Amino acid sequence: MTKLTEKQLARAREDFDRYDTNGDKKVTVAEFGSTMEKYLTPEDFKALLAKINSDGNDEISWDEFLTDYENDLGT
């Protein structure tokens, strides 16, 4: 169960949906990379992906995204 406020949870969902460009409820490496390549070096992108994608399947699930989001907020 999440410790986020309703507002934080809504923001997390908005962010996830922004990355999930095809709306299939998962964020592929390509989807995530198309946004993050503007802000990160390839090495930093790989490190971020490894941190978020805990099962290593090259797709970020909502649960993985939310866990990372909570960790970043310190909740």
**More confidently predicted of 14 and 73:** 14
| SS3 track for 27-73 | EEHHHHHHHHCCCCCHHHHHHHHHHHCCCCCCEEEHHHHHHHHHHHH
Residue 12 falls within a domain, yes or no? yes
pLDDT digits (tens, 9 = 90+) for 4-62: 999 999 999 999 999 999 999 999 999 999 989 899 999 999 999 999 999 999 899 99
CATH code for the domain of 63: 1.10.238
In a domain, 62, yes or no: yes
- How many domains, the chain? 1
- Model's pTM, two decimal places? 0.87
Strand-strand pairing, 59-61 and 26-28: antiparallel
Supply the range of the domain harboring residue 54: 7-16+26-73
Mapped onto helix, strand or coil, the DSSP state of residue 8 is helix
* 46: in domain: yes
Is residue 2 situated within a structural domain? no
